[in-house]
């Protein structure tokens, strides 16, 4: 079991794979341009107003980058392969070998408090079939 103590700007979560602790940085993106997903891998000021300082990911501070994009596709990229200073582009050949279950994105839809229930249109009247 892992107990969170404090805050780490370099690691978002920790997992164990093959009896090895793996430090994971997590990024998401909904920026889709030229048939590719643009993923920002730097921080520009965080929750404060931007002061001009850009903090890029340091590959020595985490082991894997997990990325989830707007259509439900996912990537699990070794930190040493994350190229670029502020942006990586996914969906093309460069990171293709690191895509998780290509062709089988996560189901995308409105969030639900009941994960077992299928999504229903909230405008539907009780008893109506969708």
Q: Are 57 and 82 in contact (CB under 8 A)?
A: yes
Region 51-66 average pLDDT: 84
For residues 119 and 116, the model is more confident at 116
Looking only at the bridges linking them, the beta strands covering 99-100 and 42-43 are unpaired
48: which DSSP letter?
S
Nearest to 101 by CA among 126, 73, 77: 73
Please tell me the distance from the alpha carbon of residue 38 to that of residue 89, in angstroms, as a whole number.
5
- Residue 17's pLDDT is 92
- Please determine, for residue 63, whether its predicted confidence score (pLDDT) is greater than 80: yes
Region 39-67 average pLDDT: 80
Please tell me the distance from the alpha carbon of residue 113 to that of residue 130, in angstroms, as a whole number.
20
- Residue 70's pLDDT is 92
Please tell me the distance from the alpha carbon of residue 13 to that of residue 17, in angstroms, as a whole number.
13
Looking only at the bridges linking them, the beta strands covering 64-69 and 20-29 are parallel
């Amino acid at each position: 079991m892992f107990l969170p103590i404090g805050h780490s700007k370099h690691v978002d979560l920790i997992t164990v794979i093959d009896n090895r602790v793996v430090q994971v940085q997590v990024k998401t993106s909904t920026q889709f341009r030229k048939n590719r997903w643009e993923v920002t891998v730097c921080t520009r000021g965080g929750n404060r107003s931007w002061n001009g300082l850009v903090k890029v990911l340091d590959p020595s501070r985490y082991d894997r980058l997990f990325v989830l994009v707007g259509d439900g596709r996912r990537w699990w990229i070794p930190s040493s392969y994350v190229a670029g200073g502020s942006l990586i582009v996914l969906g093309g050949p460069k990171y293709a070998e690191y895509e998780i279950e290509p062709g089988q994105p996560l189901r995308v839809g409105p969030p639900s408090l009941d994960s077992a229930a299928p999504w229903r249109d909230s405008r539907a009247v009780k008893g109506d079939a969708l």
